[in-house]
Structure formats: C-alpha cells, structure tokens
Structure 1
C-alpha cells in the first residue's frame, strides 16, 4: 500500500485572462474575466487594483472566487480608469495580473448620448522653434460627432492642467522652462454631450534653453482696423518680407489684447485659440519675395475691448510693427 504525497508545490495560480468591461456607468464599472487555473492550491478569490489616469493614488478591492464584480468606490463621471485583476489561492499565493483594461466613464447614464469618442491617436511633436512646438494627432470618431479636443499638461506625478480646447487636430504650445518635473502632454476628444475619450498617448516637450539674442527682424507687419462698430470689426494685416531671401510658405501669429474673436477672413487660413491667432498662406500667396508682401483680412466680434495687437511673428520670428 502506497501513501499519496500532499501537493506542496509553491506554484501560484495562473493569471486571469480576458478582462473586459461588461458595463460602464457614471459611477460604476462592471468587470468580467476568465477564471485563473490553480497552481498548488485552490483559487479562493481575486484582487482588483485600479486607478484614475494621471494620478498616483491606487485603489483596491477583493472578491471571492467569482469571475466578475462591480466597482463603485471612488469612481466619478467623465473620468478615465485602468483596472487589473490577480488571483489568490488558499495559501496566499498570488498570480500575475491580467492585462490592463482602460475605460472612461460617461457623463450621464440617461442622456441621448452616453458613448464617448474614440481616443486620439498618433500624438506627435513637430514644428519646434526656440520657444514653441506644435502638437498634432489623428482625429477621433464618435457615434454623434466630435466637438473638439482638450489638450492637457501633466507633471509626471499627479497634476494635470487643461491647457487649451481646440476644434482641430493641432495646437501650438509655448515651450516650458527647465524644471525637475516632466513636461508631458496628452489629448482627449470631447463630444457635444460632454463625454470625453480615453486619453491619447503622452509626448514630452523639450524645454527652453538659455535665452539667446533674437536674430535681426526680417519681416514687418502692418495691422489696420478698416471699420469698427459696437460688437464688430474688420481689419487688414499686411506682412512684408524685409530680408534678402524669398520666403516660401508663411505663418503669421499674434494675440489680441482685448476680447476679440475671429469670425471670418480672406487671403489666409485663420485659426484662433484663446487670444492667439494663427494665419497661414493660401498657397497662391505663399511666396514672399524680398521686399514682397501679402495682405489678409480679418472680420470678428468684440465686447469690451477692440485694441489692436502689438506683436507679430512670421514663421516663429518676431516682426517689426508699423
């Protein structure tokens, strides 16, 4: 007669698999997964860890030997959360975790639109100058329609700051000064109901270096209000190449000192973010020969102040102002 030897293997359970979000609501997320396989001993329960995106606080929950649960603690509407699940056995061994599951909660459970847009993709940094860089990304999709994009700065620890809300898929940002904190940027899409997407990947911006004297100005800008009335204005902007080489492709940037908002324009592609305005050539006027110029028009509205801009840049270089 032989005696069986007890299984004293130290092997933990296998990792649970197929972690999915069965239901996502404003204040709860119902998870489901495929059960772990026992190692030495029977699986007795599962541990769930989760955290809000761009935050350093991690939450946890423990359940019995089940293949799903609903998480409600610390969840808020319109936020992004990541979840992982591990199995534990009767001797306290713990498995590896599942792959991370990331979801975003809706802003309402009862409205006509509870589906968030897709996450922006391919966030990149380009157009780097001595003081600015341009973020660009691929557009998101939505079952109703994407209203715009929110650009955030993240310090690498737990503080995110909304930098801008833009209608398109680019944004030019000032380079930050050197700092011990990281300068990470990410983007979320937003729809008309207020639902926000899962965040894009993050990118790191370079920092400004020791200031160097600006190069001599090779451009001159003239801004003229052609007409003005209470609540509205029409202005023209003339940019002149005062250098000795032609400029093939131009972008003029300036900021309104008042509360002006551009409503339309001509002879340039205009965009506005906050007080900042960007005007780009329209191909047929893209070349500025030495001593050549281009004039474009701006129509807009104002409420409290229609003071003219006092500073202009051409392709990132500061221009003289008439």
Structure 2
C-alpha cells in the first residue's frame, strides 16, 4: 500500500541561539528524541458519591435503605481501562529508495515492532545537503510512499523515517538514506556517477592548499568534478569544475568563529552529479598587514574671521604640498558644533548634517605644486561654533594648520 504524504517545512539550527536549548527543542519537535505520550486512562474516574460511611453504625430503629446502610448505586458509565506501559514503536529499518526521478523519490521500509499500541503512521524528515531547510511529510500505516514536494533535479537529499502510534508515542528516526536525483528521466543517461572518495587537503602554504580525491566511476563515464565551498551554515558555492582529481584552493583570512569546508561531486556527460564526497576544512589564511596611509600631500587652514551671537564668517585655505598639480579639488570636513552654512564664495559648498563639502570653481580648479586656493563661508550657530579639526582633499586626509 502506497501512502500519500502531507508535508511541511522547518528551519534548521542557526547561530546566535544557545545550542543546548535549541538542540533539545529541535530534536524533541522533530521526533529525534522519543518521548512517550501521557498514559490514557491510567487514573480511573471516580464513581458516584458513596452513601455509606464506613465505621458509623446505623441509628437505632432505622430501617434498611436509610443513610448509613444503603449501597452505592450502579455506575451509569463504565470506567476506562488503565493504559498499558507507554512504550513507543521500535525504529523503522531497511529504508531504501526503490525509484529516484528528477522530481520524486519513492521510499520503502520495514515496519517496526509496535510498542504499547498499533503503529498509526510514519513521519519522514528530509533535507538537501548543505542547506538549512528541513522538509517533513506524514503518511498512514504504510511501508512505502513517494515524496514529491521540494524534490528537484540534480540535487542530493537525505531521508529519515520515524514511526508513531495512535497515542502519540514516536520512535527514534531511522538511519539516514542519501540519494541524488538525476537531471533527466528520459535518457540517454539517467544514472549519476558514484561519489568521489577520500577527499583530503594537503600541501598547505601561507596562501594555498591542494585538494585531492580518489576518482569516481559511472555507467557511461565521468567527465569532470565540481568543487564546492561551504560556509558551514547556509551557503554552498561552486568554485571550479576540473577534469583531474586535484584542485588548488586559496586560503583566505577568517574570523575565529567561521570556517570554510570543501567537498567534491563527480559529473557525467549529460550533467548528472554524484552524491557529495566527504568534507574537509581549509585552514584560515594569514591576516594581511594593514597598509599604512600615504603621507599627507595637502594642508588645510580654517580661520574664523568674525563671530557674533548666532553667526560667523570663516576662510578655508587648501594647499597642495605634493610635487604634482591637483586638477580639480574637493575639500570635506565636519563641524563639531551646530553650525549651518548659509552662503559661500570662491567654491561650491553644500552641507549634509554636520558634514560640509566644498568643490572648486572654474578659476581655482588647479592646485599647482605648493599652490593653494581659499574659499569663504558664512553661517549661523546657537550652541557651539567650535572649529573643525580634520579635513580631506579628494578623499585623502590633510594636515591641519
């Protein structure tokens, strides 16, 4: 009997959450931890209130059937039968794929031994390798089903099966089954190559390392190998396709909490790819030494020419201290106070927030070697009219004063 699954999508573990708490909750929710459901019927419901009081004799002269002697009435409902021990089913075994197509995988398995109760159905968990998304499907008491949701061509999937009974007891998940879907169902070749084996990393230098692996086999022939880089969490990227069984990878600087893994898949002539090889971790490359900034080749002088409550006038002189002319200049600085430029001359001046940008006009566009240009600004202020202390010329820092 073939089961038609109902499906859902979950998200795998991500960083930033306490690992023990997330792992316990995720495993419990996914059924990876077998947790017996509460027994149904272990506590017998109380019947109607008894009318006799043990240890109390009937009053003298009382007749049968009065309080103290009348037996309790017959219950109108039958008390529930106490439940048996809440043992979950055993784990399903022999999970296999009887058919793998571009958009469907047919699974079969051996039914487990029931625990306290008959097996009511099965839950299937599956996911693409090197991804953070988990899919799930549920079927009734069958031992075969075809999974189609989220199954696409040329992808690797891992499946696990768990049994459940009618009271909610669940088994552990089965051993994983990994398959790879073909890129075509009609030929000429629908069989992917065998996975590469024994991927290793060696010949490590300060900047490179060499990946090497054993050759794969295929029913028609392997034409090359796809080399992937995986960040260990969510992102897998194809970095090269090579005909041989070695590839040199660059070593890049990494923060202490990050790692880079590599894996390889064999490819045949029609584009079928194999299940991935084992992964290897590349060491981090050296952290580059910061390049010191070049010496300043400009100097800027900010001179407050006049100031009054609420207003000011200043002159800004930019000097080229280099040995080659500067053709076109832009000077930028930030006011440390709450100044606002209201007008300017000998330059095109704009302001955004506290940042002021001044550009040359036609007649002072070129600053020759040891040449200078001066522009003026007028503005207003209320709380502070402190002078700026740093300046940039065409994006490079200038000396001040």
| TM-score normalised by L of structure 2 | 0.51
Matches of 1:200 and 1:176, distance apart in 2: 22
Matched residue SS, 1:39: coil
Please give the per-residue CA displacement for 1:80-116, whole angstroms capped at 9, x wherever unaligned.
Answer: 0000000000110000111000000000000110000
Matches of 1:195 and 1:207, distance apart in 2: 32
Equivalent in the alignment of 1:269 = none
Matches of 1:111 and 1:51, distance apart in 2: 26
Q: Is the 8 A contact 1:134 1:172 kept in 2?
A: yes
Match runs of 1:110-129 below 5 Å: 110-129=186-205
Matches of 2:138 and 2:88, distance apart in 1: 17
Aligned partner of 2:266 among 189, 194, 197:
189
Larger strand percent: 1
Match runs of 1:150-299 below 5 Å: 150-179=226-255, 180-211=257-288
Matches of 2:82 and 2:286, distance apart in 1: 67
Aligned partner of 1:60 among 136, 142, 153:
136
Matches of 1:69 and 1:181, distance apart in 2: 39
Please give the per-residue CA displacement for 1:220-258, whole angstroms capped at 9, x wherever unaligned.
Answer: xxxxxxxxxxxxxxxxxxxxxxxxxxxxxxxxxxxxxxx
Cα deviation for residue 35 of structure 1 reads 0.3
Cα deviation for residue 182 of structure 1 reads 2.0
Tell me which moved more, 177-186 or 165-174: 177-186
What is the RMSD of the two structures over their aligned residues, measured on CA atoms? 1.4
Larger radius of gyration: 2
Matches of 1:6 and 1:99, distance apart in 2: 34
**Does 1:105 pair with 2:105?**
no
Matches of 2:210 and 2:162, distance apart in 1: 41
User: Across the two proteins, how many residue pairs are aligned to each other?
Assistant: 209
Equivalent in the alignment of 1:29 = 105
Matches of 1:77 and 1:206, distance apart in 2: 33
Q: Is the 8 A contact 1:86 1:98 kept in 2?
A: yes
Please give the per-residue CA displacement for 1:259-318, whole angstroms capped at 9, x wherever unaligned.
Answer: xxxxxxxxxxxxxxxxxxxxxxxxxxxxxxxxxxxxxxxxxxxxxxxxxxxxxxxxxxxx
Q: Is the 8 A contact 1:135 1:170 kept in 2?
A: yes
Cα deviation for residue 36 of structure 1 reads 1.1
**Does 1:89 pair with 2:165?**
yes
Q: Is the 8 A contact 1:176 1:183 kept in 2?
A: no
Matches of 2:134 and 2:265, distance apart in 1: 22
Matched residue SS, 2:234: coil
Matched residue SS, 1:198: coil
Matches of 1:77 and 1:181, distance apart in 2: 31
Cα deviation for residue 209 of structure 1 reads 2.3
Cα deviation for residue 37 of structure 1 reads 0.7
Equivalent in the alignment of 2:53 = none
| TM-score normalised by L of structure 1 | 0.63
Matched residue SS, 2:105: strand
Cα deviation for residue 41 of structure 1 reads 0.8
Matches of 1:104 and 1:176, distance apart in 2: 31
Q: Is the 8 A contact 2:207 2:286 kept in 1?
A: no
Cα deviation for residue 170 of structure 1 reads 0.2
Aligned partner of 2:91 among 9, 15, 23:
15
Matches of 2:82 and 2:177, distance apart in 1: 37
Cα deviation for residue 16 of structure 1 reads 0.3
Cα deviation for residue 49 of structure 1 reads 0.5
Unaligned regions of 5+ residues in structure 1, if any?
213-322
Matches of 1:178 and 1:78, distance apart in 2: 31
Matches of 1:193 and 1:181, distance apart in 2: 36
Please give the per-residue CA displacement for 1:14-41, whole angstroms capped at 9, x wherever unaligned.
Answer: 0000000010000000000000110011
